[in-house]
Structure 1
Amino acid sequence: MSKPRRTGSWRLAAAGAVLLAVITGLALFALDRGDQAYPPPLEVAGQVSREVLDRDNGLLRAYTTDSDVWRLPVRLDQIDPDYIKMLIAYEDHRFRSHRGVDPVALARAAWQLVSNGRIVSGGSTITMQLARLIEPRAERSLQAKLRQAVRALQIERRMNKDEILALYLTLAPYGGNLEGVRAASLAWFGREPKKLTLAQSALLVALPQSPESRRPDRQHEQARLARDRVLARMRDAGLIPASEIDRASAALVPSRRLEMPDLAAHTADLALRMQPDARTIRLTLDGGIQNRLEQLATDTAARLGPKQSLAMVLADGRTGDILASIGSTGHLDAQRSGAIDMTRAVRSPGSTLKPFIYGLAFEDALIAPETMIDDTPADFAGYRPRNFDRDYMGEVSIRQALQYSLNVPAVRLLEAVGPQRLLARLRRGGTELELPPGGAPGLAIGLGGAGVSLRDLVQLYTAFVNNGTARVLRDGSVVELKPPFEHPVMEPQASWRVADILTGVGAPQGAPRIAIAYKTGTSYGYRDAWAVGFDGRYVLGVWVGRADASPVPGLSGIASAAPLLFEGFARTGRDQVKFPAAPPGMIAQSHAELPFALRKYKARDQAVSTVADGSLPPRIVYPPQGARVALGSTSSGLLRPLVIKLQGGAAPYRLIANGEPLPKPTRRRVLNWMPDSAGASTLTVMDGEGRAASVSVFIDTN
């Protein structure tokens, strides 16, 4: 009885050999005759998910393909090399040597077919499996196998081994609508496939063979058994020590599918709309910071009232790069209108524009930090501002007025510098305030009587970390080539004065103890709460309110937004940057040391009433008499110019330095003088009526 069985075995072997020869011959014939006329549809490789990356190429957000599949592009250097070795050893260990079809594997498959009367293994190479993924066929037939073989030979003629492997690992199925090892690794393990554990690699090797029957979330036990079979094969082949196999077999198999990365949804969605042809978009955002600040927004949502939301923008004030942007407490939170990006919504900024008013007043030498100013009831042609607490503090210093965000002093100064001039300076920072329809800019804009977005507000505040010049904010969502702003929002000395004052604003109760300067604001009717802060480099802005602009009783910048500002700075994880030293020529003076004209600020109507003819003589308020001014020098060795600020007098003004008049008179009260050398100098200013004022100063180069 044994001899007939041996004869039958030889017949089966012969049949297998004939089958192999037929398949190989037909494949080679088809390849030679039809390769050019009927190439493989490799363009499917371009049909991948669109993805938005952060500044370090980390995945912020991905989108399914048109067929609702997660198929993320991947390169071999983005995949754990141990996983690749395990995949090749398990699926196609002669992958690097064959030409797309492995004759040995086909012979084994043919033998198993004729020996068992059914298909035991397909003998498919990785290249043949890629061919099946490119042109799916439901049936498992000789004709389908022949087609795969032809396609595999074609693919190998057009692509190298690494390209084939990368494309296979982009298209291979891993259960549900997951295709590609990168999507699978993120969905099952919550991590990129750059560094996988042994157990994770084995599971990802096993899944493509039967992705639905081995889905970890639905067929958990089958997934575990399949993974362990891969591990056992690696042990039997002597590729992995038994001790490591035992540890990997004891590891848990994931029982649920994780969400894909979903960070910076508003910015990512805008980027896709603005760059419709881009498959991969890189933003300036920092994924780690974005994640931490989004978590802060989520944590805060539970403490906010019904329908309230928040927005945050963090920027590198020196480069203009936006490092994090949170448009709401959650873009899917319909109750809070989370789909609206509140970083771009135009709202009343409350008191957050006051620092720019004070900056202009410093420029014009109207005030010094220790100048006294009245915080008392005032009527500005029918406009009667009141403080937030509806009380008045009487006479206060300029420093106190800004730190306490007093309204009347701010309006007094805005009346002096002019609303139109404030708007012009804000335009230099790339921000156009939205005024009421048909309304001319008035004093109310200093207290929030205009509209601005959080992003524009943060952009304006970058001036305080750049010597008065704002930076264009960019996040990469919009392709634009805006030039840097050429003109400063305010002069460096004025910018430093304002920042120095804001560093003294007390932190909210219970806030992290960090060294930042900041300003808060609350819009009329308790609709918007703001806080914008900065250190020596980074600027963070926070908005809290309702997207529908409804009032929120009790809402305020100091109570609602400022705590988030401090917590947000603490969560960035970046080392704080110290504030810069004072610019050359800055002089710190107590109230008693101030020139008489700067000891008490008098509004225009107050000043006129003190002089019978309404004309004050000129006065040099900076530099003060006897000042020692350190100017420093330029790269070419020349001394930097000295800024001279005047009060009173009648234009035009002519400067006389050390007895030599400057050639051109000017109508400005701010003059620049370029000293020839260091040492003692006498500066005289003569106004249009022949009145003069003089000071003696010492120019220092240190």
Structure 2
Amino acid sequence: MNNFTTYIKANKIKSAIVLILLIVYYFCLPNQLFTDPTATVITSKKNRLLGAQIANDGQWRFPQNDTIPEKFKTCIIEFEDAYFYKHPGFNPISIFKAFRDNLKSSGIKRGGSTITQQVIRLSRKGQNRTYFEKVIEIILATRLELRDSKDQILSYYSSNAPFGGNVVGLDAASWRYYYRDASQLSWAESATLAVLPNAPSLIYPGKNQEQLLKKRDRLLQKLLDNEIIDSLTYKLSIAEGLPQKPYALPQTAPHLLQKVAKTHSGKRIQTTVDNNLQERVNQVVKTHYNQLKQNDVHNAAVLVLDVKTRQVMAYVGNAPTDKLHEKDVDIIDKARSPGSILKPFLYTAMLDAGDMLANTLVADVPTQYGSYNPENYNKNYDGAVPASQALSRSLNVPSVRMLQEFGLDRFYQYLKKLHLKDLSESANHYGLSLILGGAESNLWDLCKSYAAMSSTLNHFSENSSTYFKNEFCEPTFINSETIDFGKKTSEKTLFDAASIYLTYESLKEVNRPEGDDNWEFYDGSKQIAWKTGTSFGFRDAWAIGTTKDFVVGVWVGNADGEGRPGLVGVQTAAPILFDVFNLLPNSDWFAKPFDEMREISICKKSGHRASPNCDIVEQKFVQISGLKTKACPYHILIHLDASEQYQVNSSCEDISNIKHKSWFVLPPLMGFYYKTKNPFYKALPPFREDCLGSNAASMQFIYPNDNNTIFLPKDFDGKINDLILKIAHSKPETTVFWYLNDQFLGSTQDIHEFAIIPKKGKHLITVVDTFGNEDKRWMTISE
């Protein structure tokens, strides 16, 4: 040690030079050898290639892969550098032989470079092949050997070596030339790729095939001679042909690739997609697209989520259409009118808030709020319908009336908690049309909301009746990400489990259009809660379904917003939905959340809590919040004579002769439409004429609605048709008197309809019955 110190003191200049050289040597190698842009690559959950987006410099160069298949590793070492694992970065013997041969030939005939040197040369692209450059390569190669392992150096080479044309790296070459992963290559295929980087501009598939074949076979012979492969493998290998031209890379999930490239450009991302399912869903969409395009419907999208992991299982962003019809547009995250898809959220919210029970009757009658006049798909009315049926049949009028009763702002706050990002305006901006598609949303947000509801129900049943705070979270398509559902809590996140369960029970029913008795798409063996939606103008068709394990969402339409006749959810999106569900395993139905439910007496006819007057009562489990709902308001106790044909009271009948009977009575307008669909519905019997207090009667307008603007149609001869005014009366036999602008028109009895031909302008219609009841309507006649 003293001698070393003494030497340094005596040779300060030499020591300084040596130190500087050591420092230069230490830092001579850049931390990152290769900075070339790489392709964006996505693989399936099982690492099967789904697609790749070419690098920015136009090269098929996949991101660095540290895993090298054993066959290719063996082939490349035997062909390029047999002493790779023994030398320090350069091979003196190979360099001497190369120098000797080059002198004899008066040119560069042989390189003598090791794989490590070739890695350095690849990283220093564009440098002339001179003896000085060779010295630099040797220095840098030794430094690389000191810094990185042999396998790491080999991975640098396999990921960055040229393989002909614009193909760089083993992974890209394997897919371009053999259309499979490098780990699946045979000995002959691995040998072919091993010899390509030696002269990639002269020999590659499709060019100089004879020379390529000779090089490959010489390498296979060497493998045989070194007893790496046996004679049978050798004979089979040399019998294999060569690839003739590059294959196009897989495009199994092109729109997911676009999505990944936005945030992970130039990286290799293992997604959550099930490759087999993705390919089969692609085929389903293609099959239906070939039918839909006959009606000039050119776009469709499908999203499949795993409820338990919240992972994307299949992602089809568009149909296999053409550029003219926006085939590259990813529809899944695009804002579209959702039609009726939001109705289950309103139904669940009303159950959750305790505003109704699952089968509470809601009005289905002509309705107008200001200038807004919602209509059912079939233009008909049921008078009154259970809320669950209004949902499963997707009736518009009851939904609007339910929203009005529940409160627009109140429902809007529920939707905001679902994190629907396209819901960007205020509640008043959308108005009551919000529930029928007046707002916009996208397939991603809608599917994640249904998945969150299903997961809420699952977690409640599986975790001792508890919820998770982060239930309504974003799904993921990146395999390395794990969804954090947050901490357990006894408090609901948004909807309670019972309300969700009762909603799903309703959505199990088929919501087919009226008159469609030959429903062919619903498979009764699969228990699926599903809903369709159709936007105004037949521009968007939706279908979303959920089981305990999966959510499938489908959108069908035209990317440019063009509407088409017949573009309705139940006819175009639902068939795709069920074809996709047929690809998925069957699921058990959701467990009933008994801890969030109570069994009570329910009036069978009205769906309300049973009152003492209800004649038919059944026991049902309801959500706990439903215990505060009001008792049945439609069953009243009436008093009849012995014949049960007239109502009586003590003023006209002896009390001992009076029969007391429960009677189901709806308000006049509801009753008017209800009896057309329910032939056993009976209006209240009239009071006997000798009874006092028999004037309890009411009436409501059927047509027109208040402040309607009406256009009177004309016949072919130009004659104006009559305008038919209609009212419903609780006692049809009552005489009703009609007035137009205080001018008496006439009277009606039994059937309360009156025909008039009013002049252009604003008019007031007044009706008065013999009991003094009165109702009025304003209307405007326009030509």
TM range (shorter): 0.7 to 0.9
Residue by residue over 1:477-514, the C-alpha shift from the partner in whole angstroms, topping out at 9 and shown as x without a partner, is: 89999986985443211110111121232796257764
| 1:402 CA drift (Å) | 2.4
2:242 is the alignment partner of 1:244 = no
User: Distance in 1 between the 2:182 and 2:288 partners?
Assistant: 33
Gap runs ≥5 in structure 2: 1-17, 458-466, 513-518, 633-783
Task: State yes or no: 1:492 paired with 2:497.
Answer: yes
Where does 1:446-595 land on structure 2 (aligned, <5 Å)? 446-467=435-456, 471-475=472-476, 488-505=493-510, 509=520, 514-571=526-583, 574-584=584-594, 595=602
Separation in 2, partners of 1:203, 1:121 = 21
Task: Give the corresponding residue for 2:730.
Answer: none
Using the TM superposition, give the Cα deviation of residue 529 of structure 1 relative to its aligned residue in structure 2, in angstroms. Answer: 0.2
Taking a change above 3 Å as real, the CA distance of residues 618 and 299 of structure 1, as seen in their structure-2 partners, is closer
Instruction: Quote how far apart the aligned CAs of 1:629 are.
Output: 7.8
**Equivalent residue for 2:759?**
none
Structure 2 residue aligned with 1:384: 373
Aligned equivalents of 2:331, 2:622: Cα separation in 1: 45
CA distance in 1, matches of 2:146, 2:420: 57
Q: How far off its partner does 1:246 sit?
A: 1.2
Name the amino acid aligned to 2:197.
Answer: P
What's the CA shift for 1:184? 0.9
TM-score w.r.t. the length of structure 2 is 0.66
Aligned match of 1:327: 317
1:636-655 aligned at under 5 Å gives the runs 644-647=627-630
Q: Could you tell me how far 1:279 is from its partner in structure 2?
A: 4.0
Cα deviation digits, residues 81-111 of structure 1 (max 9, x gap): 1221122122211111111121232344345
C-alpha distance in structure 2 between counterparts of 1:293 and 1:475, whole Å: 19
Larger mean CA deviation between 539-548 and 63-72 belongs to 63-72
> Is the CA contact 1:198–1:248 (under 8 Å) kept in the aligned structure 2?
yes
Verify the 8 A CA contact 2:352 2:496 in the aligned structure 1.
yes
Structure-2 separation of matches of 1:618 and 1:238: 88
Q: Choose from 198, 201, 204 the match for 2:190.
A: 201
Q: Structure 1 pair 348/64, CA: closer, same or farther in 2 (3 Å)?
A: closer
Task: Measure the CA separation in 2 of the matches of 1:550 and 1:484.
Answer: 43
Cα deviation for residue 290 of structure 1 reads 3.8
Aligned to 1:304: 292
Indicate the residue corresponding to 2:159 in structure 1.
170
**8 Å contact 1:203–1:227 — kept in the other structure?**
yes
The percentage of counterpart residues that share the same residue type is 28
Judge conservation of contact 2:40–2:53 (CA < 8 Å) in 1. Answer: yes
Tell me the distance in 1 between the aligned counterparts of 2:234 and 2:482. Answer: 53
Query: Which of 78-87 and 466-475 deviates more?
Result: 466-475
Task: State whether residues 357 and 626 of structure 2, in contact with CA within 8 Å, keep that contact through their aligned partners in structure 1.
Answer: no
- Report if aligned partners of 2:25, 2:143 keep a CA contact under 8 Å in 1: no
Aligned with residue 43 of structure 1, among 19, 27, 32: 32
Q: Could you tell which deviates more after superposition, 556-565 or 452-461?
A: 452-461
Distance in 2 between residues matched to 1:353 and 1:34, nearest whole Å: 68
**Distance (whole Å) between structure 2 residues aligned to residue 118 and residue 75 of structure 1:** 36
Distance 1:216 1:335, change over 3 A: same
Letter in 2 for 1:595: I
How far residue 221 of structure 1 moved from its aligned partner, in angstroms, is 4.2
Contact 1:419/1:441 (<8 A) preserved? no
Distance (Å, rounded) in 2 between the aligned partners of 1:203 and 1:459: 47
CA deviation after TM superposition for structure 1 residue 472, in Å: 1.4
Counterparts of residues 61-460 of structure 1 (less than 5 Å): 61-76=51-66, 78-113=67-102, 120-136=109-125, 140-274=129-263, 279-281=267-269, 283-305=271-293, 306=296, 308-329=298-319, 333-363=322-352, 367-373=356-362, 375-381=364-370, 383-393=372-382, 396-431=385-420, 434=423, 439-460=428-449
User: Could you say what secondary structure the match of 1:531 adopts?
Assistant: strand
Contact 1:526–1:556, Cα closer than 8 Å, also in 2: yes
- Give SS of 1:163's match: helix
Deviation at 1:554, TM superposition (A): 1.4
Instruction: Indicate the residue corresponding to 1:606 in structure 2.
Output: none
- Structure 2 distance, partners of 1:140, 1:629, is 84
| Two-structure CA RMSD over aligned residues (Å) | 4.0
Q: How many residues align?
A: 588
Give, in angstroms, the shift of residue 66 of structure 1: 3.9
**Rg (Cα) greater in structure:** 2
Task: State the shift of 1:350 in Å.
Answer: 0.9
| CA–CA separation in structure 1 for the residues paired with 2:307 and 2:472 | 7
CA distance in 1, matches of 2:36, 2:397: 62
Give the secondary-structure state (helix, strand or coil) at the position aligned to 2:183: coil
Which amino acid in 2 is paired with 1:580? Answer: F
Contact in 2 for aligned 1:420/1:441 (Cα 8 Å): no
Conserved? CA contact 2:26–2:143, under 8 Å:
no
Q: Residues 386 and 38 from structure 1, CA distance in 2 versus in 1: closer, same or farther, beyond 3 angstroms? A: closer
Please state how far the C-alpha of 1:181 moved relative to its aligned partner. 0.9
Mark the CA change 1:627 to 1:439 in structure 2 (over 3 Å): closer, same or farther: closer
Contact residue 311 and residue 543 of structure 1 kept, 8 A: yes
Q: Which runs of 5+ in 1 are unaligned?
A: 1-28, 603-616, 632-640, 650-702
Change (3 A) 1:424 1:173: same
- Shift in alpha-carbon separation, 1:307–1:467, aligned structure 2, 3 A: closer
Alpha-carbon distance change, 36 to 118 in structure 1, aligned in 2, over 3 angstroms:
closer
Letter aligned with residue 154 of structure 1: R
CA distance in 2: counterparts of 1:626 and 1:293, whole angstroms: 44
Query: Once structures 1 and 2 are overlaid, which stretch shifts more, 534-543 or 411-420?
Result: 411-420
Q: Distance in 1 between matches of 2:53 and 2:112?
A: 35
- Post-superposition Cα deviations, 1:415-469, rounded to whole Å, max 9, x if no partner, equal 3222222212122222266377894443322222221122221122124313468
Q: Specify the alignment match of 2:692 in structure 1.
A: none
Larger deviation, residues 43-52 vs 444-453: 43-52
SS in 2 for 1:442: helix
Structure 2 vs 1, CA of residues 80 and 281 (structure 1 numbering), >3 Å: closer, same or farther? closer
**More off after superposition, 109-118 vs 377-386:** 109-118
Seen in structure 2, the aligned counterparts of structure 1 residues 170 and 585 have a Cα distance that, compared at 3 Å, is closer
Inter-CA distance 473–322: structure 2 relative to 1 (3 Å threshold) = farther
Give the 3-state SS of the residue equivalent to 2:472 in structure 1: coil
Q: CA–CA distance in 1 between the matches of 2:106 and 2:493? A: 84
Once the 2 structures are TM-superposed, how far is the Cα of residue 198 of structure 1 from its aligned partner? 1.2
For residues 424 and 547 of structure 2, the distance between their equivalents in structure 1, rounded to whole angstroms, comes to 30
CA deviation map 1:563-590 (0-9, x unaligned): 111222334xx5333222211168899x
Shift of 1:562: 0.8
